[in-house]
Every structure is written in structure tokens, then in C-alpha cells.
Amino acid sequence: MEKDTIVLTRKIQIHIDSDDKEKRASYYQMLFEWQDIVYRAANLVMTHLYIQEQIKDLIYLHDDVKVKLTNRSLDEEGILNTSKMNTTYQILSRYFKGKINTDILSCINMALIKNYNSERIDYWKGTKSLRNYKKDMPIPFSGKSLKLMRDGNNHDFRFSLFKIPFRTYLGKDRSDKKVLLQRVLVGQIKMCASALQIVKGKLFLLLSLEIPKKKYELQEHIIAETSLGIEHPITVQIDKDNYQIGNKEEFLYRRIAIQAARLRNQKAAAFSRGGHGRTKKMKGLEHYRDKEKRYVDYKLHLYSRRLIDICIKAQAGTLLLVNQSQKEEVAKEDVFILRNWSYHGLISKIKYKAELAGIHVIIE
């Protein structure tokens, strides 16, 4: 049965809400220590899950060795002294209990088990390597651990997380973040397991929310035949109506211009005037570091939004991506197309917005 809700995530910049410098420093120190524990705990869990799964394939073990991964108290053939899910939590509790909140350990364990189970077939076939988590991994926590409240002085919000006070920084928010936070306060939507991320000393809240899908009058027999390409990022045909979203000059040429500008700055950096070391020389290059990524991400969001709006207006309940698999195979042989098409990001945004609107997506 199709769910009536969808989970979406919003990235919100936050600050530690304290004027005491010593307290702020201690809170930051605590968060950095938690971040270090989280990534080590994640790699530890993945290692143990993989070892447990591979015991049965160790053909050099004696035939009498029992390898059934179940609790021995429930099954005499089992080799575990607890449930399979609890084995990895016991490992985390043994190494990190008292150093970090147990809610974080529980969320790490649940998330890693879910990720592993979704990819275990690929590990078994050898088509995918085991995940390796890095030091910038977000710190997960359950929705019940975050206590949100309204800041009476401005349009931002305050919340506490494991007794650490935080304050949001929405700035000139042109998205739906403020509206979503307001709906959380009045209980209209539910907070799910979220995470706190540290990027270059800045704090971000990766807030996951479960919201109801919007109800539109859609007809499943009305099909929007969609084609992704270079000349026009999206071409849509619904019955006799044709739509073209974006064009080559708008998207591709602008993207190439950003790449060329970045390359010029990279070549010129060696001849830039010094005086302040590397920071001065790399100032121009740093400006273009994420410029292309931000531009592409904005355009893909815009194109996918317009596609879904067209489908809703035409009451198209089914969206068919025509010959997409074949196009991706062709793109793999062309380095230029593979580098500049961004079909994977566009498809993921289309799927996300279509699911939110209740439109069924089929990839041909």
C-alpha cells in the first residue's frame, strides 16, 4: 500500500546559543569528539556486519562448525548470544558507552544495518566494496532528542540537543524552512531521525521531517512521456502537447564558461601577488571552487520543478522517461556528455518531486 507521507530533509545552519566563550568552546570540543567517535563507530559496525555475513562462506572451516546467525536461546543451531541486530550495538556500547549519548549509538546501529542490508547482495557478488565512512560524517540522533522552541526576538528558532543549546540561522530564507519549522512547533508534521554536521567549523542541522503528500487530481492513464537530452535538458509530450524545458545555450554553455573561468584562475594563481601566502594566491580560485556545482544544482531543481508543474496541470499521474537506460549507456562512451549532462542528479530530483506530488515514475 502506498504511503500518504514522505520524508524530506532540510539543511539548516545553526549556532551554539551561548554568550559564554568558555561554555561555547567546551560545547564545540564535545561535538568534535562525538564526530570522531561516530565515524569510527560506523566503520566498526560495517566491519562486524560484513564478518558475520561472510562466516558461512569460509569454506576452510570444519563442517561441524555452526554458522547460523541467530540467538542460541531461541534456536539451538544459532551461534549468537543475542539477536543479530543487538550484536553490533553491544560492540558500540562496549567501546563508546559513557563517551557519547546512547541515542546516537542506537541511531548509528540502525542506520548502518539498514544500509548494509540494502547492499549486501552487491557485497556478496563482489560488485561493490564495503562502505568507508570518513571523519566528516554527520552525527545522527532520533527526533525525540531535539526540543524545538520559538525565539521571541527574531524569526529564528532555538532548540536543545543533549543539553547543548542551539539557535538556527535562516538569514534571508527564500525556501520553506521557516514554514516547516513552524509546522513542527504546532505539531502538524513529525520530526524523524536527523543529524548534525560539522563543515569547516560551521554547524548544520540535517533535519528530516515526515510530511503528508499533497493531494492532486491526477489520472494514472494520462502519461507524460519525458526525454532527457543535451539540446534541451527535458522534453515532455502529453497527448498532443509538447514542452521543452531549458536549452543548450542556457545550461551547457554557461556551465562550460564557469569551467573555463576556473581553469584560467588556476593557471594565473602561480603569478598572483603574494604577501599573505597561499590564501592570497588562491583567492580567485576559491571563488570558483563550488560555483559550477551550485549553478548545476539550481538549474536541475528548476527544470525538475517545471516538469512536475506541467504534469500536475495536465493531471498526468504517470511520468515515463523514454529510452533513458540506452542514453546512459551511450553517455558512458562519451567523456564530454558524461562530464556535463548531469542526468543522474536530474533523475533523482525528478523522482523526489514526483513522489511528493503522487506521480508514478517509470524509467524505460
Q: Looking at residue 153, what is its pLDDT?
A: 62
Q: Is the Cβ–Cβ distance between 35 and 137 less than 8 Å?
A: yes
C-alpha cell at 74: 531461541
CA dihedral 25, 97, 107, 167 (to 10 degrees): -20
pLDDT winner (highest mean) among 65-79, 231-245, 277-291, 331-345: 231-245
What Å distances lie between residue 88 and 82, 106, 132, 340, CA to CA?
10, 10, 17, 42
| Average pLDDT estimate for 192-204 | 89
**pLDDT tier at 26, thresholds 50, 70, 90:** very high
Per-residue pLDDT tens digits for 41-90: 999 988 888 887 777 665 455 555 555 555 556 565 555 566 777 788 88
Q: Where are the domains of the chain?
A: 5-22+138-212, 30-125, 219-363
| Out of 1-10, 116-125, 154-163, 355-364, least confident range | 1-10
pTM recorded for the entire structure? 0.75
Q: What are the respective helix, strand and coil percentages of the chain, to the nearest 5?
A: 45, 25, 30
Per-residue pLDDT tens digits for 148-168: 887 666 677 888 888 888 888
Mean pLDDT, the chain, as a whole number? 82
E-assigned strand segments in 186-240: 190-191, 194-199, 202-212, 219-228, 234-238
Q: Which residues contact 154 (CB under 8 A, 6 or more apart)?
A: none
Per-residue pLDDT tens digits for 248-264: 888 888 888 888 888 88
Is 219-363 a domain of CATH 3.40.1400? no
Q: Which amino acid makes up residue 73? A: S
Q: Which residue has the cell 593557471?
A: 267
